[in-house]
Structure formats: C-alpha cells, structure tokens
Amino acid sequence: MKQVVKSAHALDGKISPPGDKSISHRAVILNSIASGDSRVSNFARSDDCLATVACMRSLGVAIESSKGGGLVVRGVGDRGLKEADDVLCTENSGTTMRLLAGLLAGQPFLAIITGDRSLRSRPMDRVIQPLRLMGARIWGRSGDSRAPLVISGGNLHGIKYTLPVASAQLKSALLLAALFAKGDTVIKEPVASRDHTERMLKAMGAKIVVKKDTIALSPGRLKAVDIAVPGDISSAAFWLVAGAIHSRADIRLTNVGINPTRSGVIDVLNAMGADIAVTNERMVSGEPVADLRVRSSELSGMEVSGEIIPRVIDEIPLIALAASVAQGKTVIRDAGELRVKESDRISNTARELLKLGADVQELPDGMIIQGRKRLRGAACDSHGDHRLAMMLGIAALVAEGETEIDNAEAVNISYPRFWRDLKRLSAARS
C-alpha cells in the first residue's frame, strides 16, 4: 500500500490515541492465567495485540469481544492452560513471542512459537539463555538464537539474574516464568525499563517487591482484575512531534498514559523547547494518565543518551525527525538496540530522512543530526516498520510538496487508524 501525504497548511484538533499496546498485551496474558473473569476496556486492536489474543485462545482461554471495543477474558488459573493443537503464530509481535516464551516455559506441555519473516530474523537468545538458567528446555534455529522456538515446559526454579540490558520484554518473560517456578526469582535492572508488568502483578495479588532497580517475585496465584487501558504514549508521540515541528499547530490529546518509565519523549521534547501542557492528571487501573496539548514550538538540538534511552527507545525515529528541523545539532547515542527492532531503525531512519533532505549521519548506536534543514517531499519506504511509516507521515506534514510512503499498511501493527487521524488533523484551515 502506498500513502501520499501533502504538506499541511495547519494542524488542529483533538485525538484520542489507541489503547496502550504494552499494557494490552499484559492485560490479556496475565488475566488469562488468573482466577476469574476480567474486562479489558480500550484494548489496543492492533495486529500485535490481536496476535496475543489469538495465541491465548489457542492455549484454551476464552476471550470474548465486548461493547466499545473491549474484551472479556475468562481466566483459567495458574494450571488451566492447555497444549495448543498447532504452532502458535505471533505474527510481527516481538512482545508476544518473548512474553509467551516465559509463560510457556512454566507449562507442563510442548509448545512451538513462530512469527512472520521479520520476527524470525530477530534475536531471541537474550530470552532463551536466562529461561534455561531457570530449567527451561528451549530450542531455536540459527544456534538457538532465532524463532521458531520449541519449548518443553515445566520444572522451573527461581534464579537471581541481572539483565544485560534494560528490556521490559525480557524482564516480563522472566517474571511470567517465575510465577510457575519453585522458589523466589530476583531480577536486577541496569536501568529502569517500563514497569507495566510489575504494576499489574501487584494489582492481581502477586507476591512481588520492587525496590529501586531490583524486583523479587515469589510463585503464586493471580486474581483477575478489570483494566482500563490508557491511550498509548508511543502513539501520542507522533502528534506531539507533529505539533511541535509544524508552524501552525494546536493539537489536544486525551487519556494518554504518562507512566514515567514510558514518558521520556515528553521530557526530551520539553528539553528541546517544545510547548507541551500536561493537564487532568489522574490514576486509572494503577497507571498515571493525563491529557496533553502541544502547540507550534521553536526546538533546539541536544544530546539524547544514557539512562533516558530505555524511556524513549520506540520514539528515537521521531526524535531524529524533530532534530532535523530544530536549531543546532542533536546527537543520539546508546540506542544500538534499535538495530534489532522490526527493522534496523538506525539505518532506515537515517536513510529515509536523507531522502527528505535532512542531514543525518549514522552511528553504530545512534545518529548525529544537523538541524534547520528544509524538508522536501520524496518517495519513501517504511521497510515494513510501523514506527517508520508513521514517522514519515509526520515528516510529510512539514515537507514541501507531497511525500509518497510505500508499505504504509505497516501502521496496522500498532495504530490502525493512523492515516485517518492524520488526514483529519491536517484538514485544518486558517
């Protein structure tokens, strides 16, 4: 699918971002192994999250659609999952594959997990190795580092483990396995990563203790809880950048999750000089939520590196775009993890922004961007990466002429209505 986007005269309107993808995955998985029924409202009906639903249904969990786009999850308890009749396909969702690897490592049956071509090329050894330390039997291809994964589960024991990198997916996989292990599991993080799993486990009655960079979990049963999923900050980030870099913009965003382990994009944009207002702050289902307003801003370059990176890892392509039109130089470092996402996001972000006239130099773990460049429309490609497709759509709003984006359907992975929302905002008139 090709999407053509023209330069926008102005951006004005209100957006309610889709439900948070990370929270939606976890709400379905954890409620599936809890006792009792739960309702998940504002569930993210993206391809990634629907893959999680399909896999849990294959494992014997009844999950029904409810009014307003929500779900009813009928939990089967800690020993109620059943061996699937077929291979479990996680499509393009790395979160689904890694979290299910941890969950299935603790189940007393055989499971095979695969994904699409892109996901089968992504490394899985970072999850496989610590699960093996817990006693799991897991095999993969390419030296046990790639999917499909074959898991013969059960008979796990708790471990003390220091994560090699800050990774919420790896941490969550180990916590899921720990629920079914003998003894306690203690996980230490080098830098704090998103903590949705810990918050949800606590709400469901898990024996979990979080102190600074250490999480301790004892095995135990979970009680189902209703979850109202907030709007996804990673989806809202596209509109935050759009509003900040467009010369005539006023965008309001409602019901956005502002979990401090996820809201680094707000901090970075504020440091660059963005005009972002945070209002109506509140707690919803254990998660901080607020409304946001962004208006046209004068941005300046900065260095983005170190401890902030895990909090903005999904937004780095957007930050690179903002840096392209900001005053001065921006340096992004310590983001080597981007090379093993849905695509090589360092290389592909640099390549596509260069097409649009940006001044971007690729680094092994990031980019150097010289700002104040006048972007111009061009023929671009998302490389099948949803975040690149949307970043290019935002870039097109401020680029001269029109921009053609190939493989634009990739937005369905996380934000199916993105092109519709973009068209509505860019229809503003003076």
- pLDDT, mean over the chain: 96
Examine the pLDDT at 26 and tell me if it is beyond 80: yes
pLDDT, tens digit (0-9, with 9 covering 90-100), for 46-88? 999 999 999 999 999 999 998 888 999 999 999 999 999 999 9
Domains of the chain, each with CATH number or no CATH: 3-18+230-426 (3.65.10.10), 21-216 (3.65.10.10)
* Tokens 């014997």 -> residue: 60
Neighbours of 142 (CB within 10 A): 12
Instruction: Please give the structure tokens belonging to residue 288.
Output: 């901080």
* Tokens 């999680």 -> residue: 52
Alpha helices in 334-415 (DSSP H): 345-355, 386-398
Higher pLDDT, 144 or 414: 414
Q: Is the peptide bond before 148 cis (omega within 30 degrees of 0)?
A: yes
Q: What is the pLDDT of residue 430?
A: 41
Task: Indicate which residue of 314, 381, 385, 421 is catalytic.
Answer: 314
Q: What is the pLDDT of residue 340?
A: 84
pLDDT, tens digit (0-9, with 9 covering 90-100), for 350-363? 999 999 999 999 99
Residue 294 contacts residue 276 (beta carbons within 8 Å): yes
Active site residue 334: no
| Cβ neighbours for 309, distance < 8 A, ≥ 6 positions apart | 166, 191, 334, 335
Residue 289 contacts residue 256 (beta carbons within 8 Å): yes
pLDDT, tens digit (0-9, with 9 covering 90-100), for 134-146? 999 999 998 888 9
Find the mean pLDDT for residues 109-127.
95
End-to-end CA, the chain? 31
Kindly indicate the confidence band of residue 373, based on its pLDDT and cuts at 50, 70 and 90. Answer: confident
Q: What is the pLDDT of residue 102?
A: 98
Kindly indicate the confidence band of residue 342, based on its pLDDT and cuts at 50, 70 and 90. Answer: confident
CA-derived radius of gyration, the chain: 21
CA triplet 234, 338, 302: central angle to 5 degrees? 70
Residue 58 contacts residue 52 (beta carbons within 8 Å): no
